[in-house]
Chain A
């Protein structure tokens, strides 16, 4: 018998997150490791009246491209990707990796070419998303590789993943609606703030957020979810931040990242491990040195760090800052081929001030509306 949590996940994804309607062209991407979820989701899309189109990703393609590809090949984007983004109504991605570290030895310069080529595509995706023509959703299907990355058995990891999505509850969609309302309230309240100051170990950072919109993420684009985010004023960021969690990006892990900002720009960057890759990413383009997103993780069903941004950035009691592209719906104006979320733990010894007033301590807002 299939895990009932699988059916609940397919249900929530199709009916709540992506809200598939009759006639929608729904592009579904996954690896064969997520086959049971793909088949179940395919069924639900049909039941909702949609047209599912499945594209399976297999292991080794990215590696082969980075291995063998010349500049023209690295910088090329397939017509399938272009047309999907142009014509699909919904795009659903099931992360389901075979090996989270397979690109560890890839040449960062080559990765940067791939990254830049996909930027235009990403811009178009966000454009259609912002205008409401396209919905997209990223979620994860637990695999051994992801469990290994998290330092768990597959069974333990499944529990972790499904708990984070409230799929251990009877009415996950209802739970997400309730949680979403709470996040909306918090976002509205933060919207009145002009400047945030984040103080923690090796961290004292000021971010201007005046006039920017805080957006509540409640399981529509990411699943699981649970954060509020904005795009800080591009020239406003000042001070230092140390990220207590390692950062997984582009198939590799960078540890102990510290950044110093002046006038909104990174002027000093170091890492205990992976410094070369950090430098490469910062040099990607002009926008890569600026902050595109600042956010609070608020999902208290996620307590553990698992080296996967989809989960880590939502851990209740954390904050994350993304270098690079900002989301237009926040009012953020920064553009870049990069969007790299770096997460830091605020659950102990931290304080956040809004326009000088203490509003957050040790991982929680003090005066929640």
Chain B
């Protein structure tokens, strides 16, 4: 029997996140191990009248390419892939790893070459998404590898993941509609703020956000979702921050990152492990030392760190501040090849002030933002 939580997730992503319509060309991307969700999405898309097709690949192939391919082979982009992008009305990416550490011993330079070649394809995709020519959603299918990263059994991890998506209950779409109202209201309230001050253990950071738009991440682009984010004013970050969770980029971890900002840029960076990698990423390009994103994680079903950014950045009661590329739709202008989400746990002692007024304490906003309809507290 098909896990009803998987079936509901397929329905939710097809109908709520992507709003698939009749005749829309819809591609399902992922590894073959994500087969149950891929099939659920395929069926939901057919019921919506869309034209779905599978684009599944096999785990372990990119590792072989990096290890055995020539530079030309690693950087090669298939004309089939280029042509397909132009035809899509909607795309889902299902993340489902069989081994999250499979690139650990790969040649970094060759791995980097593969990533930057693939980025050309994803840039074109983002261009079409930004122009509203196509829709995209990223979601996950639980695997042993993800459960292992979270130090959980697969069964427990599935329960955790589907509760974060609310597909463990009937009618998850109406839950997400409510979340959407609450997050939109929060985003509107935050839009009036000129400066945020984040205070916590070894943390006292001022982030200028005047004139920037806050965006409610309400399950359209990610499932699960649940955050509000913006891009800070590039020159106005001042002070210190300590990230309690490991900061992970492309599978490599840096622990206990501490950053000091002056005039918007990182001027000092320390960590207890992975210092060389931290320095290399900060020196990647001119934009890598500047914040591209500040966000509140507001999905309270996600109550633990699981080494997966899709989930970790939404942990209820955390904030994340990403180094690197900002979001144009939020008014951000920082550009970089980096976008490194680092998560700061504010659930125990954190406080956030908006233009001097305390608005957030111990992982929650003090006042609910005014919402037109009854909703969940965020």
Chain A residues at the B interface, C-beta cutoff of 8 Å: 25, 27, 31-32, 35, 38-39, 42-43, 46-47, 49, 51-61, 64-65, 67-70, 72-73, 76, 78-80, 83-84, 86-88
Please determine whether B80 and A56 come into contact, CB atoms closer than 8 angstroms.
no
Please determine whether A53 and B43 come into contact, CB atoms closer than 8 angstroms.
no
Please determine whether B64 and A58 come into contact, CB atoms closer than 8 angstroms.
no
Closest 10 CB pairs of A and B: A78-B53, A79-B87, A68-B46, A56-B32, A56-B56, A32-B32, A58-B35, A83-B83, A83-B80, A87-B79
Q: How far is the CA of A68 from the CA of B48 in the complex (A)?
A: 10
Please determine whether A73 and B46 come into contact, CB atoms closer than 8 angstroms.
yes
Cβ of B374 within 8 Å of any chain A Cβ, yes or no, is no
Please determine whether A68 and B43 come into contact, CB atoms closer than 8 angstroms.
yes
Please determine whether A58 and B83 come into contact, CB atoms closer than 8 angstroms.
no
Chain B residues contacting A54 (CB-CB under 8 Å) are: 57-58, 61
Please determine whether B23 and A72 come into contact, CB atoms closer than 8 angstroms.
yes
Please determine whether B56 and A55 come into contact, CB atoms closer than 8 angstroms.
yes
Please determine whether A46 and B69 come into contact, CB atoms closer than 8 angstroms.
yes
Instruction: Give the Cβ gap from A25 to chain B, nearest Cβ, in Å.
Output: 6
Cβ of B155 within 8 Å of any chain A Cβ, yes or no, is no
Chain A residues contacting B39 (CB-CB under 8 Å) are: 58, 60-61, 64
- Tell which of A35, A43, A64, A83 touches B42, judged by Cβ atoms closer than 8 Å: A64
Instruction: Give the Cβ gap from A14 to chain B, nearest Cβ, in Å.
Output: 14
Q: How far is the CA of A79 from the CA of B90 in the complex (A)?
A: 13
Chain A residues contacting B81 (CB-CB under 8 Å) are: 53
Within 8 A of A (CB), among B246-269: none
Range of interface residues on B (Cβ < 8 Å): 35 or more
Q: Can you offer 5 A-B residue contacts whose CB atoms are under 8 A? A: A25-B79, A46-B70, A54-B57, A58-B54, A86-B83
Cβ of B3 within 8 Å of any chain A Cβ, yes or no, is no
Interface of chain B, main secondary structure: helix
- Tell which of A49, A73, A76, A87 touches B80, judged by Cβ atoms closer than 8 Å: A87
Q: How far is the CA of A220 from the CA of B26 in the complex (A)?
A: 34
Chain A residues contacting B116 (CB-CB under 8 Å) are: none
Given known A39-B60, A46-B65, contact A32–B35 (CB-CB < 8 A) = yes
Cβ of B118 within 8 Å of any chain A Cβ, yes or no, is no
Please determine whether A58 and B32 come into contact, CB atoms closer than 8 angstroms.
yes
Cβ of B73 within 8 Å of any chain A Cβ, yes or no, is yes
Please determine whether B53 and A80 come into contact, CB atoms closer than 8 angstroms.
yes
Q: How far is the CA of A73 from the CA of B46 in the complex (A)?
A: 8
Please determine whether B55 and A80 come into contact, CB atoms closer than 8 angstroms.
yes
A-B contact count (CB 8 A): 108
Instruction: Give the Cβ gap from B49 to chain A, nearest Cβ, in Å.
Output: 7
Chain A residues contacting B47 (CB-CB under 8 Å) are: 68
Q: How far is the CA of A206 from the CA of B57 in the complex (A)?
A: 48
Q: How far is the CA of A35 from the CA of B38 in the complex (A)?
A: 18
Chain B residues at the A interface, C-beta cutoff of 8 Å: 23, 25, 27, 32-33, 35, 38-39, 42-43, 46-47, 49, 51, 53-58, 60-61, 64-65, 68-70, 73, 76, 78-81, 83-84, 87-88
Instruction: Give the Cβ gap from A77 to chain B, nearest Cβ, in Å.
Output: 9
Chain A residues contacting B78 (CB-CB under 8 Å) are: 25, 51, 53, 87
Please determine whether B56 and A58 come into contact, CB atoms closer than 8 angstroms.
yes
- Tell which of A47, A53, A78 touches B68, judged by Cβ atoms closer than 8 Å: A47
Beyond A38-B58, A58-B54, 17 additional pairs, beta carbon < 8 A: A25-B79, A32-B32, A39-B64, A43-B64, A46-B64, A51-B73, A51-B76, A56-B54, A59-B35, A67-B43, A69-B46, A72-B51, A78-B53, A80-B55, A83-B80, A84-B80, A87-B79
Q: How far is the CA of A12 from the CA of B51 in the complex (A)?
A: 37
Nearest A residue to B57 by beta-carbon distance?
Answer: A54
Name the residue in B51, B61, B84 with the highest tally of chain A Cβ atoms < 10 Å from its Cβ. Answer: B61
Q: How far is the CA of A46 from the CA of B84 in the complex (A)?
A: 23
Q: How far is the CA of A65 from the CA of B52 in the complex (A)?
A: 9
Please determine whether A79 and B46 come into contact, CB atoms closer than 8 angstroms.
no
Instruction: Give the Cβ gap from B315 to chain A, nearest Cβ, in Å.
Output: 32
